[in-house]
Amino acid sequence: MASTHHLYLIRHLPTAGNLERKYIGWTDDPIVPVEEPVRPSLVPAAGIVYGSDLVRARQTGALLMPDANYVADARLRECHFGKFEGKTYAELEKDKDYRNWIDDPYSFRPRGGESLADVEKRVLEALVSLPNGAVAVTHGGPIRIALTRYSPVPRDFWSWQIPHGSVWRLEWSNHNEMKEGGRCTSLSEVPITGKGTM
């Protein structure tokens, strides 16, 4: 019988733009300074952490898993918000294109940006390529996409709350089940300061 297949997804720590509730997609902002250094005992498989190529993901990986080698993959980036980039809901709420995108993000895209269908294609391709037990540092949008696609209980994209620094563990019966788009058998948010290996 094939062994189970599991992945860990971590949302990067916050940036100044995140704290101001701005859409920060491909803007390459650093994380805000961390007052108390986070030193969890996360040890990713083979000493490698995968993640978005954006600086906030790289910095989060280095802070949470300082001894791991970081392998950047642009497919794990946040959605490109185009003309909505750097703006808040309050600045966009009366914009017709923004309303269309909020109401149907898979069919509509921000002006000059990506639809969630575009993002989903690249993110799922990246996730399927990761080895069993991989840890990936990414963004809220890609994690919501993964949870919406793979959750054992179907839920809407916007219904997921993905706090900065949260860790999500997804498990399937085997890798083929994941590659074929099957829903995971187990999904949980896990503490970031566990013992042992991930």
pLDDT digits (tens, 9 = 90+) for 116-171: 999 999 999 999 999 999 999 999 999 999 999 999 999 999 899 999 999 999 99
The pair of structure tokens assigned to 37 is: 């250094």
- Closest Cα to residue 29, out of 49, 66, 8, 58? 58
- Structural Rg of the chain based on CA atoms: 17
- Closest Cα to residue 167, out of 65, 37, 16? 65
> Which phi-psi region, left, alpha or beta, contains residue 86 (left: φ > 0; alpha: ψ -120 to 50)?
left
The length of the chain, given as a count of residues: 198
pTM over the 0.75 mark: yes
pLDDT digits (tens, 9 = 90+) for 110-128: 999 999 999 999 999 999 9
